């Protein structure tokens, strides 16, 4: 199957899941990879649909993730060069996370989905002016949710900038 066909199928699943709600924007986003304090966003990206009520995107293994906008209590923004991220604070939401299937001493391997609760979700975008990022910001503004202080992004060294994974947005919020 061609990748374009797979994306279209996934996007149609997201639109079906939205249940006829008015779609404000659709596009791509990059989700935070770790649950720790550090922000690290990279990877192939996921399809996303923003409605007036929620953000829907595809998680690992095609799981549909939904974040109700009514539960969002605040957000911060981060920018590094052209990359942009929204760090959303929200009421507890459960997502299926990819975890190692097996662990022996310090070795971990395999993939398994396990439900994990979150109160903070970081969504990354290729740039600030994408339709999806603008739709999320405008919907939060409509709900009188103002952005918190921006997250300071460290200036990477030349070695870090020219490393193999140059598409990563990486920071540690204060």
Residue 13: CATH number of its domain? 2.30.29.30
Does residue 97 surpass a pLDDT of 70?
Answer: yes
Kindly report each contact of residues 68-76 with a partner whose C-beta sits within 8 Å and lies 24 or more positions away, as own/partner.
68/93, 69/139, 69/140, 69/143, 70/143, 72/140, 72/143, 72/145, 73/145, 74/145, 74/146, 74/147, 74/148, 75/140, 75/145, 75/147, 75/148, 76/147, 76/148, 76/149, 76/150, 76/151, 76/173
**Tokens describing residue 3:** 């990748």
* Lowest mean pLDDT segment, chosen from 14-23, 68-77, 101-110, 123-132: 14-23
Does residue 11 surpass a pLDDT of 60?
Answer: yes
Domain that holds residue 75: 3-87+123-171
Does residue 81 surpass a pLDDT of 60?
Answer: yes
Give 113-156 pLDDT, tens digit per residue: 788 888 988 899 988 999 999 999 999 999 999 999 888 777 77
Residue 10 in domain = yes
What mean pLDDT, rounded, does the chain reach? 80
Q: How far apart are CA 45 and CA 32, in angstroms?
A: 10
Residue 128 in domain = yes
Residue 94 in domain = no
Between the CA of residue 99 and those of 8, 30, 109, 113, what are the distances in Å?
A: 27, 18, 9, 6
Residue 97 in domain = no
More confident call, 110 vs 33: 110
- pLDDT for position 35: 45
Q: Which residues pair with 95 in a beta bridge?
A: 116
Residue 140 in domain = yes
Q: How far apart are CA 25 and CA 51, in angstroms?
A: 7
Residue 37 in domain = yes
Residue 105 in domain = no
Residue 117 in domain = no
- pLDDT for position 140: 95
Whose tokens are 């279209």? That residue is 8
Q: Residue 166: which residues within 8 A CB-CB, separation 6 or more? A: none
| CA-based nearest residue to 114, from 93, 96, 100, 94 | 96
The tally of domains found in the chain comes to 1
Give 22-48 pLDDT, tens digit per residue: 888 888 888 776 545 566 676 677 888
Does residue 2 surpass a pLDDT of 80?
Answer: no
């Amino acid at each position: 199957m061609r990748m374009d066909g797979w994306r279209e199928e996934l996007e149609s699943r997201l639109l079906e899941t939205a249940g006829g709600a008015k779609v404000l924007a659709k596009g791509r986003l990059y989700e935070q990879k770790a649950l720790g304090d550090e922000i690290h966003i990279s990877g192939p990206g996921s399809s996303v649909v923003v409605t007036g009520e929620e953000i829907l995107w595809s998680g690992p293994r095609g799981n549909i993730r939904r974040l109700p906008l009514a539960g969002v209590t605040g957000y911060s923004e981060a920018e590094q060069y052209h990359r942009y991220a929204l760090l959303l604070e929200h009421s507890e939401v459960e997502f299926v996370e990819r975890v190692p299937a097996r662990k022996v001493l310090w070795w971990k391997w395999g993939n398994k989905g396990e439900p994990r609760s979150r109160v903070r979700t970081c969504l990354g975008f290729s740039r600030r002016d994408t339709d999806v990022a603008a739709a999320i910001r405008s919907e939060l503004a409509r709900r009188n949710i103002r952005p918190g202080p921006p997250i300071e992004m460290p200036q990477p060294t030349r070695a870090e900038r020219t490393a193999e994974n140059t598409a990563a947005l990486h920071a540690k919020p204060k």
